[in-house]
Structure 1
Amino acid sequence: MTTHANQAFTEGVILNNGVHMPWLGLGVYKTKEGQEVIHSVKTALELGYRSIDTAAIYRNEEGVGQGLRESGVPRDDIFVTTKVWNADQGYESTLQAFDASRQRLGLETIDLYLVHWAVTATYRETWKALVHLQKEGFVRAIGVSNFQIHHLQQIIEDTGVIPAVNQVEYHPQLAQKELLAYTREHGIQLEAWSPLMQGKLDVPVLQQLADKYGKSPAQIVLRWDIQHGVVTIPKSVTEHRIRENAAIFDFELSAEDVALIDSLNENKRIGPDPDHVTF
């Protein structure tokens, strides 16, 4: 692997509590429990990835844990994220859900634990539980997922603890400009889920830029994430794609081309609106 490629795995951001998080990770949403997720995790780690993102609702934490162990990569070298699901939110139930995730993963400590969605009735108590878990040393960093600005303001007001990360839907058609500005201002790291728009990359501008830089449209988008200071976790189960997604550190988009991708924003969501979560 080239020096440029190695940067994908050794470089990262220092979160607001001093913890290092890689810029690039493997997402395992909809990756099947069992051999599929085990193989994906092992392949990514063999290729040099050092960040794996899962969640209780993905129902593949056991396979992720097995892939981590079978990879032979030292535990301290890997950044593992998981999330508490909506039905398990609330103070005591979150503590129980965390313990269950930790057992499924086979890990003593989780690097990043997130509140998966801002469930109106419970997210504030859920956040207090995460604050407790971090204070007790069970979690290295805590954060949220799919939180809007007003959700972030509420939990910060409640606890005085600023989330380290907010993982949200983020891609060229949903650039989340106000949210990105707010998180930058408050030292919260934005992280992109569905960065590749679930593969819907047949966009002329992206193809033109791919041709210009000698890259794929996916690599153009992932590079755009990084240049906006957004951590990205593309999902794939094939070695070719996992390898390709990492080859984004040997080129740089011009400011004009970043702005051109920015212009694709339509505030268009693939997933649910976080203010109207019904699951």
Structure 2
Amino acid sequence: MTIPALPLGTDLAMPLLGFGTWQLRGEAAYKAVRAALDVGYRHLDTATMYGNEAEVGRALADSGVPRDQVFITTKLPPERAGKERATLADSLRLLGVDAVDLWLIHWPPSRGRSLPVWRSFAALRDEGLTRAIGVSNYDISDIEELVSETGVVPAVNQIRFGPTLWDSALVEAHRSRGVVVEGYSPFKTTNLHDPVLTRIAAAHDVDAARVVLRWHVQHEIVVIPKSASPERVATNFDIAGFTLTDQEMAAVDGLAERR
């Protein structure tokens, strides 16, 4: 199964469906990532803060999937501002890779620290230790400050997202600046028992979770569901066999108006 991808520059593409690893630790993280790679995921999302980079790296090494076929994201915790090089070096060692594909500032650091951190990110990218750089949990005003002061546009902003948080103006504000929107916690922000979702799911003979994931992909919003269940990991990946109609997409969009 081929998952569509968005370009991040000329020689890098980010799969729209990835596997999230937040709250997965130890052997559970290893097994979940192995399951994800086995069913076809080629995009893994981790972070220094998650404490599972070693397990993610071991799962990748043991999977037999070539490194150049897997998009890897990790993140710098805000309290590590000023220690960018050491933090990235630790991440690369734990993951067992020479470079990550995307490195994010996990949350905006304390006031006044974003700019020096961002400059360090750009320098480490230029050294080849990460192929792209971005941010997470940033407002548009925060992104504008980075761009205006450094000229470096974040490739991605990873934010909490889902149908009930749909905001076309916010999405367009990112895209007009060349920033890809990546959504996390797609199910935590969504009532999977909502009649709109269950009706659409029944029409396509899928579950509501897959409707939510398909909705993200058709909006070209990267999404990173997480599960420790091998069955759920596989089911979440199985979204290529159906397409939501324009009317169904609009109905899911409309869930935001009912918050």
TM-score range, shorter chain: over 0.9
Q: CA RMSD in A?
A: 1.5
Does structure 2 conserve the Cα–Cα contact (< 8 Å) formed by 1:172 and 1:261?
Answer: yes
Q: In 1, distance between residues paired with 2:168 and 2:240?
A: 24
Aligned residue among 248, 251, 263 for 2:242: 251
Matched with 1:25 is 18
Matched with 1:63 is 55
Does structure 1 conserve the Cα–Cα contact (< 8 Å) formed by 2:182 and 2:222?
Answer: yes
187-196 or 258-267, which deviates more: 258-267
Aligned residue among 3, 6, 21 for 1:13: 6
How far 1:41 moved relative to its partner?
0.9
- The one-character-per-residue Cα deviations of 1:51-86 (angstroms, maximum 9, x if unpaired) are 100001111111111111111111111111000001
Q: In 1, distance between residues paired with 2:9 and 2:248?
A: 30
Matched with 1:75 is 67
Does structure 1 conserve the Cα–Cα contact (< 8 Å) formed by 2:163 and 2:190?
Answer: no
Amino acid at match of 2:109: V
How far 1:107 moved relative to its partner?
1.4
Q: In 2, distance between residues paired with 1:53 and 1:74?
A: 17
What 5-or-longer segments of structure 2 have no aligned partner?
Answer: none
The answer to whether structure 1 residue 117 and structure 2 residue 110 are counterparts is no
Amino acid at match of 2:73: T
How far 1:267 moved relative to its partner?
9.3
Equivalent pairs: percent with the same residue?
Answer: 37
Amino acid at match of 1:148: D
Per the normalisation by structure 2, the TM-score is 0.95
Matched with 2:229 is 238
Does structure 1 conserve the Cα–Cα contact (< 8 Å) formed by 2:18 and 2:225?
Answer: yes
Aligned partner of residue 173 in structure 1, secondary structure: helix
What 5-or-longer segments of structure 1 have no aligned partner?
Answer: 1-5, 269-279
149-158 or 200-209, which deviates more: 200-209
How far 1:120 moved relative to its partner?
3.9
Q: In 1, distance between residues paired with 2:42 and 2:66?
A: 10
Runs (4 or more) in structure 1 with deviation over 6 Å come to none
Matched with 1:205 is 196
How far 1:235 moved relative to its partner?
0.4
Matched with 1:273 is none
Cα distance 1:16–1:180, how it changes in 2: closer, same or farther (>3 A)?
Answer: farther
Does structure 2 conserve the Cα–Cα contact (< 8 Å) formed by 1:130 and 1:142?
Answer: yes
- The one-character-per-residue Cα deviations of 1:94-132 (angstroms, maximum 9, x if unpaired) are 222111111121211111000111124222221111101
Amino acid at match of 1:85: P
Q: How does 1:91-170 map to 2 (within 5 A)?
A: 93-121=83-111, 122-170=113-161
Does structure 1 conserve the Cα–Cα contact (< 8 Å) formed by 2:209 and 2:236?
Answer: yes
How far 1:198 moved relative to its partner?
6.2
Does structure 2 conserve the Cα–Cα contact (< 8 Å) formed by 1:43 and 1:239?
Answer: yes
Amino acid at match of 1:95: R
The alignment covers a number of residue pairs equal to: 258
How far 1:257 moved relative to its partner?
1.1
Aligned residue among 168, 181, 195 for 2:186: 195
Amino acid at match of 2:53: E
Amino acid at match of 1:115: I
Per the normalisation by structure 1, the TM-score is 0.88
Does structure 2 conserve the Cα–Cα contact (< 8 Å) formed by 1:83 and 1:114?
Answer: yes
